[in-house]
Structure 1
Amino acid sequence: MIEPIATHNLDRYGNAELPWSRPHGILADEKTAAQDLTYFIATVRPDGRSHSAGVGAVWVDDALYFVSGPDTLKSRNLAHNPACSVAVRLPGLDLVLEGDAHRVTDPSTLERVAAVYRTSGWPASVEGDAFTAAYNAPSAGPPPWHLYRLTLHTAVGVAGAEPHGASRWDFAH
Protein backbone atom coordinates (compact mmCIF):
# COMPACT_ATOMS: atom_id res chain seq x y z
CA MET A 1 0.00 0.00 0.00
CA ILE A 2 1.22 3.48 -0.85
CA GLU A 3 1.87 5.17 2.49
CA PRO A 4 1.46 8.85 3.31
CA ILE A 5 4.45 10.65 4.78
CA ALA A 6 2.13 12.78 6.94
CA THR A 7 -1.50 12.82 8.04
CA HIS A 8 -3.32 15.98 9.14
CA ASN A 9 -6.60 15.99 11.03
CA LEU A 10 -8.91 18.54 9.38
CA ASP A 11 -11.95 17.69 11.52
CA ARG A 12 -13.40 20.59 13.54
CA TYR A 13 -15.82 18.52 15.62
CA GLY A 14 -13.42 16.45 17.70
CA ASN A 15 -13.30 13.34 15.53
CA ALA A 16 -10.03 11.46 15.20
CA GLU A 17 -7.97 11.68 12.04
CA LEU A 18 -8.97 9.19 9.38
CA PRO A 19 -6.47 6.50 8.45
CA TRP A 20 -5.34 6.41 4.81
CA SER A 21 -6.17 2.71 4.86
CA ARG A 22 -9.88 3.65 4.72
CA PRO A 23 -9.97 5.29 1.26
CA HIS A 24 -7.11 3.12 0.03
CA GLY A 25 -9.01 -0.03 0.97
CA ILE A 26 -12.06 1.10 -0.97
CA LEU A 27 -10.02 2.16 -4.02
CA ALA A 28 -7.95 -1.04 -4.04
CA ASP A 29 -10.95 -3.37 -3.63
CA GLU A 30 -11.53 -5.22 -6.91
CA LYS A 31 -15.28 -4.68 -6.49
CA THR A 32 -14.82 -0.90 -6.56
CA ALA A 33 -13.82 -0.96 -10.25
CA ALA A 34 -17.20 -2.50 -11.09
CA GLN A 35 -19.16 0.12 -9.13
CA ASP A 36 -20.77 3.00 -10.93
CA LEU A 37 -18.49 5.70 -9.49
CA THR A 38 -18.07 9.06 -11.18
CA TYR A 39 -14.63 10.63 -11.10
CA PHE A 40 -14.09 14.29 -11.97
CA ILE A 41 -10.74 15.71 -13.01
CA ALA A 42 -9.79 19.36 -12.66
CA THR A 43 -7.00 20.64 -14.90
CA VAL A 44 -5.53 24.07 -15.58
CA ARG A 45 -5.76 25.85 -18.92
CA PRO A 46 -2.65 27.67 -20.20
CA ASP A 47 -4.27 31.00 -19.24
CA GLY A 48 -4.73 29.78 -15.63
CA ARG A 49 -8.48 29.11 -15.75
CA SER A 50 -9.67 25.78 -14.41
CA HIS A 51 -11.45 23.04 -16.34
CA SER A 52 -13.38 20.11 -14.88
CA ALA A 53 -14.67 17.01 -16.63
CA GLY A 54 -15.76 13.49 -15.84
CA VAL A 55 -13.29 10.67 -16.51
CA GLY A 56 -13.41 6.90 -16.39
CA ALA A 57 -10.89 6.00 -13.69
CA VAL A 58 -9.64 2.85 -11.99
CA TRP A 59 -7.20 2.16 -9.15
CA VAL A 60 -4.57 -0.37 -10.27
CA ASP A 61 -1.36 -1.38 -8.50
CA ASP A 62 -1.55 1.50 -6.02
CA ALA A 63 -2.21 4.26 -8.55
CA LEU A 64 -5.18 6.00 -10.14
CA TYR A 65 -5.41 5.69 -13.93
CA PHE A 66 -7.84 7.46 -16.23
CA VAL A 67 -8.53 7.72 -19.94
CA SER A 68 -8.88 10.81 -22.10
CA GLY A 69 -9.09 11.48 -25.81
CA PRO A 70 -5.93 13.15 -27.16
CA ASP A 71 -7.84 16.15 -28.51
CA THR A 72 -9.94 16.82 -25.40
CA LEU A 73 -9.39 19.98 -23.39
CA LYS A 74 -8.26 17.98 -20.34
CA SER A 75 -5.57 16.17 -22.37
CA ARG A 76 -4.37 19.40 -23.93
CA ASN A 77 -4.27 21.02 -20.48
CA LEU A 78 -2.28 18.09 -19.03
CA ALA A 79 0.22 18.34 -21.89
CA HIS A 80 0.78 21.98 -20.90
CA ASN A 81 0.63 21.47 -17.10
CA PRO A 82 0.35 17.99 -15.52
CA ALA A 83 -0.99 19.35 -12.19
CA CYS A 84 -4.54 18.19 -11.57
CA SER A 85 -6.98 16.89 -9.00
CA VAL A 86 -9.45 14.03 -9.22
CA ALA A 87 -12.55 13.89 -7.03
CA VAL A 88 -14.79 10.90 -6.34
CA ARG A 89 -17.55 10.02 -3.91
CA LEU A 90 -16.67 6.63 -2.46
CA PRO A 91 -19.07 4.72 -0.22
CA GLY A 92 -19.11 6.74 3.02
CA LEU A 93 -16.22 9.00 2.00
CA ASP A 94 -15.71 11.95 -0.35
CA LEU A 95 -12.15 11.95 -1.68
CA VAL A 96 -9.99 14.40 -3.63
CA LEU A 97 -6.65 13.21 -5.01
CA GLU A 98 -4.12 15.84 -6.07
CA GLY A 99 -0.95 15.35 -8.07
CA ASP A 100 0.52 15.24 -11.55
CA ALA A 101 -0.89 13.14 -14.38
CA HIS A 102 1.31 11.80 -17.14
CA ARG A 103 0.52 9.72 -20.17
CA VAL A 104 1.31 6.01 -19.95
CA THR A 105 2.66 4.23 -23.04
CA ASP A 106 4.32 1.18 -21.45
CA PRO A 107 2.73 -1.90 -23.10
CA SER A 108 2.60 -4.03 -19.94
CA THR A 109 0.92 -1.25 -17.92
CA LEU A 110 -1.53 -0.56 -20.74
CA GLU A 111 -2.46 -4.27 -20.86
CA ARG A 112 -2.82 -4.51 -17.06
CA VAL A 113 -5.08 -1.45 -16.83
CA ALA A 114 -7.11 -2.48 -19.90
CA ALA A 115 -7.82 -5.80 -18.15
CA VAL A 116 -9.19 -3.93 -15.12
CA TYR A 117 -11.35 -1.74 -17.35
CA ARG A 118 -12.72 -4.89 -18.99
CA THR A 119 -13.70 -6.37 -15.60
CA SER A 120 -15.52 -3.10 -14.86
CA GLY A 121 -17.59 -3.44 -18.04
CA TRP A 122 -15.71 -1.26 -20.54
CA PRO A 123 -14.25 -3.49 -23.31
CA ALA A 124 -10.92 -1.66 -23.66
CA SER A 125 -8.11 -3.13 -25.70
CA VAL A 126 -4.60 -1.91 -26.37
CA GLU A 127 -3.74 -0.71 -29.84
CA GLY A 128 -0.25 0.70 -30.17
CA ASP A 129 0.33 3.03 -27.22
CA ALA A 130 -3.33 3.77 -26.48
CA PHE A 131 -6.76 2.20 -25.88
CA THR A 132 -9.54 1.45 -28.26
CA ALA A 133 -13.02 0.02 -27.72
CA ALA A 134 -16.39 -0.19 -29.39
CA TYR A 135 -17.49 2.85 -27.37
CA ASN A 136 -16.46 5.44 -24.81
CA ALA A 137 -18.00 8.56 -23.30
CA PRO A 138 -19.47 10.83 -26.00
CA SER A 139 -17.14 13.65 -24.95
CA ALA A 140 -14.02 11.48 -25.39
CA GLY A 141 -14.06 11.66 -29.16
CA PRO A 142 -13.11 8.74 -31.41
CA PRO A 143 -10.38 6.25 -30.51
CA PRO A 144 -7.58 5.94 -29.73
CA TRP A 145 -7.72 7.16 -26.13
CA HIS A 146 -4.70 7.93 -23.99
CA LEU A 147 -4.11 6.44 -20.56
CA TYR A 148 -2.86 8.70 -17.74
CA ARG A 149 -1.42 7.84 -14.33
CA LEU A 150 -1.84 10.21 -11.39
CA THR A 151 1.28 10.60 -9.26
CA LEU A 152 -0.28 11.31 -5.90
CA HIS A 153 0.94 14.32 -3.88
CA THR A 154 -1.97 14.94 -1.51
CA ALA A 155 -5.38 13.47 -0.75
CA VAL A 156 -8.25 14.90 1.30
CA GLY A 157 -11.05 12.73 2.64
CA VAL A 158 -14.29 13.73 4.38
CA ALA A 159 -16.24 10.88 5.91
CA GLY A 160 -20.01 10.97 5.54
CA ALA A 161 -20.40 7.71 7.46
CA GLU A 162 -19.09 6.47 10.80
CA PRO A 163 -16.46 6.96 11.88
CA HIS A 164 -16.79 10.59 10.80
CA GLY A 165 -13.84 12.86 10.30
CA ALA A 166 -11.78 14.76 7.77
CA SER A 167 -8.10 14.27 6.99
CA ARG A 168 -5.38 15.26 4.56
CA TRP A 169 -2.67 12.82 3.61
CA ASP A 170 0.64 13.97 2.11
CA PHE A 171 2.70 11.64 -0.08
CA ALA A 172 6.32 11.71 -1.23
CA HIS A 173 6.65 12.65 -4.87
Structure 2
Amino acid sequence: MTDTVNEPTSTGNLDRYGSAELPWSRARDVLVADTPTADLTFFVATTRPDGRPHSAGVGAVWVDDALYFTSGPGTRKARNLAANPACSVSVRLRGVDLVLEGDAHRVTDATTLDRLVAVYRTGGWPAEVDGDALTAPYSAPSAGPAPWHLYRLTLRRAVGVATAEPHGATRWDFTG
Protein backbone atom coordinates (compact mmCIF):
# COMPACT_ATOMS: atom_id res chain seq x y z
CA MET A 1 0.00 0.00 0.00
CA THR A 2 1.26 3.43 -0.82
CA ASP A 3 0.61 6.65 1.02
CA THR A 4 -0.96 8.56 -1.86
CA VAL A 5 -3.19 11.58 -1.65
CA ASN A 6 -6.46 11.06 -3.47
CA GLU A 7 -7.30 14.62 -4.55
CA PRO A 8 -10.60 15.58 -6.16
CA THR A 9 -10.64 16.10 -9.91
CA SER A 10 -13.53 18.56 -9.61
CA THR A 11 -15.61 20.24 -6.92
CA GLY A 12 -19.00 21.85 -6.66
CA ASN A 13 -20.17 24.40 -4.15
CA LEU A 14 -23.52 23.19 -2.79
CA ASP A 15 -23.93 25.98 -0.23
CA ARG A 16 -27.03 28.18 -0.66
CA TYR A 17 -25.97 30.84 1.83
CA GLY A 18 -22.85 32.26 0.22
CA SER A 19 -20.21 30.20 1.99
CA ALA A 20 -17.09 29.22 0.07
CA GLU A 21 -16.35 25.67 -1.06
CA LEU A 22 -14.90 23.47 1.64
CA PRO A 23 -11.44 22.06 0.95
CA TRP A 24 -11.30 18.26 0.71
CA SER A 25 -8.43 18.39 3.20
CA ARG A 26 -10.88 19.48 5.92
CA ALA A 27 -12.75 16.16 5.83
CA ARG A 28 -9.73 14.03 4.94
CA ASP A 29 -7.62 15.43 7.80
CA VAL A 30 -10.32 14.59 10.35
CA LEU A 31 -10.60 11.06 8.94
CA VAL A 32 -6.83 10.67 9.27
CA ALA A 33 -6.75 12.07 12.80
CA ASP A 34 -9.85 10.36 14.21
CA THR A 35 -9.83 6.84 12.79
CA PRO A 36 -9.59 4.39 14.40
CA THR A 37 -9.34 5.96 17.86
CA ALA A 38 -12.38 8.29 17.95
CA ASP A 39 -15.85 6.93 18.59
CA LEU A 40 -17.18 7.32 15.04
CA THR A 41 -20.16 5.47 13.62
CA PHE A 42 -20.00 4.69 9.90
CA PHE A 43 -23.01 3.45 7.95
CA VAL A 44 -22.72 1.71 4.59
CA ALA A 45 -25.66 1.84 2.19
CA THR A 46 -25.94 -0.88 -0.45
CA THR A 47 -28.60 -2.01 -2.89
CA ARG A 48 -30.45 -5.31 -2.56
CA PRO A 49 -30.91 -7.44 -5.69
CA ASP A 50 -34.54 -6.25 -5.94
CA GLY A 51 -33.38 -2.60 -5.90
CA ARG A 52 -34.38 -1.77 -2.32
CA PRO A 53 -31.80 0.04 -0.19
CA HIS A 54 -30.02 -1.49 2.78
CA SER A 55 -28.01 0.39 5.41
CA ALA A 56 -25.91 -0.98 8.26
CA GLY A 57 -23.19 0.13 10.62
CA VAL A 58 -19.63 -0.92 9.84
CA GLY A 59 -16.27 -0.75 11.57
CA ALA A 60 -14.40 1.62 9.25
CA VAL A 61 -10.96 3.23 9.24
CA TRP A 62 -9.23 5.71 6.93
CA VAL A 63 -5.77 4.38 6.06
CA ASP A 64 -3.34 5.55 3.38
CA ASP A 65 -5.98 7.79 1.82
CA ALA A 66 -8.69 5.14 1.52
CA LEU A 67 -11.66 3.96 3.57
CA TYR A 68 -11.69 0.32 4.69
CA PHE A 69 -14.47 -1.53 6.50
CA THR A 70 -15.34 -5.04 7.59
CA SER A 71 -18.33 -7.31 7.19
CA GLY A 72 -19.12 -10.98 7.55
CA PRO A 73 -19.62 -12.80 4.24
CA GLY A 74 -23.15 -13.88 5.13
CA THR A 75 -24.47 -10.40 5.99
CA ARG A 76 -26.93 -8.61 3.74
CA LYS A 77 -24.42 -5.82 3.03
CA ALA A 78 -21.70 -8.29 1.96
CA ARG A 79 -24.10 -10.20 -0.27
CA ASN A 80 -25.27 -6.90 -1.79
CA LEU A 81 -21.68 -5.79 -2.44
CA ALA A 82 -20.86 -9.14 -4.10
CA ALA A 83 -23.69 -8.50 -6.58
CA ASN A 84 -23.23 -4.73 -6.91
CA PRO A 85 -20.17 -3.01 -5.41
CA ALA A 86 -21.68 0.50 -5.64
CA CYS A 87 -22.31 1.91 -2.19
CA SER A 88 -22.12 4.97 0.02
CA VAL A 89 -20.66 5.36 3.49
CA SER A 90 -21.85 8.11 5.84
CA VAL A 91 -20.26 9.46 9.00
CA ARG A 92 -20.53 12.50 11.26
CA LEU A 93 -17.02 13.85 11.82
CA ARG A 94 -15.82 16.72 13.98
CA GLY A 95 -17.16 19.76 12.15
CA VAL A 96 -18.44 18.06 9.00
CA ASP A 97 -21.06 15.50 8.02
CA LEU A 98 -19.62 13.35 5.23
CA VAL A 99 -20.98 10.95 2.63
CA LEU A 100 -18.48 8.94 0.59
CA GLU A 101 -19.66 7.24 -2.63
CA GLY A 102 -17.90 4.63 -4.70
CA ASP A 103 -17.36 0.92 -5.19
CA ALA A 104 -16.33 -1.41 -2.37
CA HIS A 105 -14.29 -4.49 -3.18
CA ARG A 106 -12.96 -7.21 -0.94
CA VAL A 107 -9.28 -7.02 0.01
CA THR A 108 -7.43 -10.34 0.30
CA ASP A 109 -3.72 -9.54 -0.09
CA ALA A 110 -1.68 -10.36 3.02
CA THR A 111 0.23 -7.06 3.14
CA THR A 112 -2.95 -4.96 3.26
CA LEU A 113 -4.65 -7.30 5.72
CA ASP A 114 -1.64 -7.13 8.05
CA ARG A 115 -1.52 -3.33 7.78
CA LEU A 116 -5.22 -2.91 8.53
CA VAL A 117 -5.16 -5.35 11.46
CA ALA A 118 -2.41 -3.21 12.98
CA VAL A 119 -4.56 -0.09 12.54
CA TYR A 120 -7.68 -1.71 13.98
CA ARG A 121 -5.60 -2.84 17.00
CA THR A 122 -4.54 0.78 17.69
CA GLY A 123 -8.25 1.56 18.02
CA GLY A 124 -8.76 -1.22 20.56
CA TRP A 125 -10.18 -4.00 18.38
CA PRO A 126 -7.92 -7.08 18.81
CA ALA A 127 -8.25 -8.28 15.22
CA GLU A 128 -5.97 -10.89 13.65
CA VAL A 129 -5.46 -12.10 10.10
CA ASP A 130 -6.85 -15.57 9.44
CA GLY A 131 -6.14 -16.60 5.86
CA ASP A 132 -7.73 -13.92 3.67
CA ALA A 133 -10.03 -12.52 6.37
CA LEU A 134 -10.01 -11.07 9.89
CA THR A 135 -10.98 -12.63 13.20
CA ALA A 136 -11.23 -11.33 16.76
CA PRO A 137 -12.83 -12.39 20.04
CA TYR A 138 -15.72 -10.01 19.26
CA SER A 139 -17.17 -7.59 16.73
CA ALA A 140 -20.37 -5.61 16.27
CA PRO A 141 -23.48 -7.79 15.93
CA SER A 142 -24.14 -6.25 12.49
CA ALA A 143 -20.82 -7.70 11.25
CA GLY A 144 -22.12 -11.25 11.48
CA PRO A 145 -19.99 -14.14 12.75
CA ALA A 146 -16.24 -14.40 12.12
CA PRO A 147 -14.36 -14.47 9.88
CA TRP A 148 -14.88 -10.94 8.58
CA HIS A 149 -13.96 -9.75 5.12
CA LEU A 150 -12.12 -6.49 4.61
CA TYR A 151 -13.41 -4.06 1.96
CA ARG A 152 -11.78 -1.01 0.38
CA LEU A 153 -13.93 1.82 -0.95
CA THR A 154 -12.75 3.21 -4.28
CA LEU A 155 -13.85 6.80 -3.84
CA ARG A 156 -15.83 8.35 -6.72
CA ARG A 157 -17.62 11.24 -4.98
CA ALA A 158 -17.94 12.78 -1.54
CA VAL A 159 -20.30 15.37 -0.13
CA GLY A 160 -19.50 17.34 3.00
CA VAL A 161 -21.72 19.68 4.98
CA ALA A 162 -19.91 21.74 7.61
CA THR A 163 -21.45 21.69 11.07
CA ALA A 164 -18.94 24.20 12.46
CA GLU A 165 -17.30 27.40 11.21
CA PRO A 166 -16.46 28.00 8.48
CA HIS A 167 -19.78 26.63 7.22
CA GLY A 168 -20.44 25.41 3.72
CA ALA A 169 -21.42 22.41 1.64
CA THR A 170 -19.29 20.91 -1.10
CA ARG A 171 -19.26 18.01 -3.55
CA TRP A 172 -15.87 16.52 -4.45
CA ASP A 173 -15.49 14.25 -7.49
CA PHE A 174 -12.63 11.74 -7.79
CA THR A 175 -11.39 9.60 -10.64
CA GLY A 176 -11.08 6.61 -8.26
* TM above 0.5: yes
Which residue does the alignment assign to 1:152? 155
Task: In structure 1, list runs of 5 or more residues that go unmatched.
Answer: none
The corresponding residue for 2:105 is: 102
CA RMSD of aligned residues (A): 0.7
Aligned residue type for 1:19: P
Q: Is the 8 A contact 2:57 2:142 kept in 1?
A: no
| Structure 2 residue aligned with 1:43 | 46
Give the alignment's TM-score, normalised by structure 1. 0.98
| AA in 2 matched with 1:138 | P
Aligned to 1:21: 25
TM-score w.r.t. length of structure 2:
0.96
Amino acid at match of 2:155: L
**CA distance, structure 2, for counterparts of residue 76 and residue 61 of structure 1:** 26
* 1:139 to partner: Cα distance: 2.5
Deviations 1:140-170 (A, max 9, x none): 2221000000000000000010000000000
What CA distance in whole angstroms lies between the structure 2 residues aligned with 1:74 and 1:46? Answer: 11
3-state SS of paired residue (1:28): helix
CA–CA separation in structure 2 for the residues paired with 1:118 and 1:53: 22
Shift >6 Å, 4+ stretches: none
Q: Structure 1 residue 85 and structure 2 residue 101: aligned?
A: no
Q: CA deviation at 1:111?
A: 0.5
Write the deviation string for residues 115-149 of structure 1: whole angstroms up to 9, x where unpaired.
10000011111000000000001222221000000
- Structure 2 runs not aligned, ≥5 long: none
1:119-158 equivalences under 5 Å are 119-158=122-161
For 2:16, the equivalent position in structure 1 comes to 12
Matched, 1:171 2:162: no
Q: Which residue of 2 aligns with 1:68?
A: 71
Q: Distance in 1 between matches of 2:46 and 2:35?
A: 24
The residue type paired with residue 145 of structure 1 is: W
> Percent sequence identity over matched residues?
73
